[in-house]
Amino acid sequence: MPKALLLENIHPFAAQSLRDHGFEVETRSGALAEDELIEALDGVDVLGVRSKTTVTARVMDARPGLTAVGCFCIGTNQVDLEHAGQKGIAVFNAPYSNTRSVVELVISDIVCLMRRIPAHTHHLKHGLWDKSAKGSHEVRGKTLGIVGYGNIGSQLSVLAEAMGMHVVFYDLEEKLAMGNAQRMSTLNALLEQSDAVSLHVDGRKSNVGFFGEDQFAHMKQDAIFINLSRGFVADLDALKRHLDSGHLSGAAVDVFPTEPKKSGDSFITPLADEDNMILTPHIGGSTLEAQESIGHFVSQRLLDYWFRASTTMSVNMPQMTLRAGTGEARIAHLHVNLPGMLAQVNQILGAENINVTAQSLSTEGDLGYVVTDVSQMPTQKALQALRDVHGTIRMRIIDL
């Protein structure tokens, strides 16, 4: 019976789906540190994490039996993807499942900050009646600057325009503008004309400290700042200085450079005493709808990989979409992308008169992936010969 370990309160649907397909499933509510994770992975075939558990090269080296990692979230920067590929560990995520949830939170942040709802709420909680329109604005007619125009950024663009906002965006790659949104040639050009700036960049290393003192300085007077992307992207000390000086009128921050491992842990930030500030504990995608959708999507990718060897939507493997098998067994052979690998696989099978009923090859970068359906189960000698082929990373045999 294969074993799965799911951490960080992954939606129960994922655990049930895996159990329904024969997995023994252990669930834990919090994240695990490196040594704790190595211990917990003893005998585990499939690991499920969210954003707090880091799957390092040391973890993977210590547990060579680990076959796949499911990131039940958008990002995969918590996993050493290159090393996972070298170890034959497939990694999957859910790049689209919580898009709507994140976008809706950004829209609500924009409205609340423009109307100074956090400040008014704070005053009332402390016994001060401050009925005033000073500093409060409609979002209609204001300019929203979106930094990063991927799945979330582009959908935010659509909803913001529907509310009457003018949208400008900046992205390093060429992106098709949605509606009447305008692409800006430079980040500074976007910052200088935006009444609200929202970050939606990915977790690549080059984005560490991407938005700092210089970028805040280029923002409009009384603009608002929103970050629901990655905690290491924005310099929060610089943000605080620009809020304290009166340059910026408000901010919403959902992600932080250092975050607690589990719910209930203490958390302190110098931004807590700011007047017009929304602080949320990394809940941009944390709606019941989004978490259920993520649980369904990622668990299905893991099941497809385990039972069919399909790598559809894997972030570190050659892409191959596979249906039900056509023979007795399926051989999944992951290897270094070298010439002649397909020929060697077929030579080994041919030497035992094993008929190939279907075969596919896919390569990506340094990796190659051959999946072969055969009419009879190969002998242990043949399977060992496949493992011994120079350049083999991992070979799996799946009963059909």
- Confidence grade of residue 334 (pLDDT, cut at 50, 70, 90): very high
Catalytic residue among 115, 282, 301, 330: 282
pLDDT value for 96: 87
Catalytic residue among 230, 301, 333, 335: 230
- Residue 226 contacts residue 106 (beta carbons within 8 Å): yes
In the chain the first and final C-alpha atoms are separated, in Å, by: 16
pLDDT value for 327: 84
Helix (H, G, I), strand (E, B) or coil at 191: helix
Do 229 and 367 fall into the same domain?
no
| Strand partners for 334 | 369, 394
Given a cut of 90, whether residue 84 has pLDDT beyond it is yes
| Strand partners for 335 | 368, 392
Catalytic residue among 104, 161, 192, 259: 259
282 is a catalytic site residue: yes
- How many structural domains compose the chain? 3
Do 262 and 167 fall into the same domain?
yes
Do 305 and 174 fall into the same domain?
no
Do 226 and 262 fall into the same domain?
yes
Given a cut of 80, whether residue 325 has pLDDT beyond it is no
Given a cut of 90, whether residue 387 has pLDDT beyond it is yes
Checking 221-224 for CB contacts under 8 A at 24+ apart, the result is: 221/247, 222/135, 222/195, 222/247, 222/248, 222/249, 223/194, 223/195, 223/196, 223/197, 223/248, 223/249, 224/110, 224/113, 224/114, 224/195, 224/196, 224/197, 224/248, 224/249, 224/250, 224/251, 224/252, 224/276
> Domain of 140: which CATH number?
3.40.50.720
pTM for the whole structure: 0.82
Do 313 and 344 fall into the same domain?
no
Q: Which domain holds residue 298?
A: 1-98+287-317
pLDDT value for 238: 97
Do 177 and 70 fall into the same domain?
no
The string of pLDDT tens digits covering residues 9-34 is: 999 999 999 999 999 999 999 899 99
Do 265 and 208 fall into the same domain?
yes
230 is a catalytic site residue: yes
**Cβ atoms within 10 A of the Cβ of 214, count?**
12
> Domain of 326: which CATH number?
3.30.70.260
Task: Give the C-alpha separation, 311 to 334, whole Å.
Answer: 11
308 is a catalytic site residue: no
Do 124 and 216 fall into the same domain?
yes
To which H or E segment does residue 397 belong?
Answer: strand 392-399
The pLDDT > 70 percentage for the chain reads: 100
The string of pLDDT tens digits covering residues 192-245 is: 999 999 999 988 888 899 999 999 999 999 999 999 999 999 999 999 999 999
pLDDT value for 51: 87
Domain boundary among 317, 339, 372: 317
- Confidence grade of residue 78 (pLDDT, cut at 50, 70, 90): very high
- Confidence grade of residue 311 (pLDDT, cut at 50, 70, 90): very high
How many Å is the Cα radius of gyration of the chain?
25
Residue 96 tokens read as 């689209």
pLDDT value for 261: 80
pLDDT value for 379: 93
Mean pLDDT estimate for the chain: 95
pLDDT value for 264: 85
Do 196 and 228 fall into the same domain?
yes
The string of pLDDT tens digits covering residues 184-203 is: 999 999 999 999 999 999 88
Do 161 and 241 fall into the same domain?
yes
The string of pLDDT tens digits covering residues 123-154 is: 999 999 999 999 999 999 999 999 999 999 99
Do 399 and 252 fall into the same domain?
no
pLDDT value for 288: 92
pLDDT value for 262: 79
Dihedral angle sign, alpha carbons of residues 80, 82, 83, 87: positive
- Confidence grade of residue 74 (pLDDT, cut at 50, 70, 90): confident
The string of pLDDT tens digits covering residues 29-63 is: 989 999 999 999 999 999 999 988 999 999 999 99
Do 220 and 333 fall into the same domain?
no
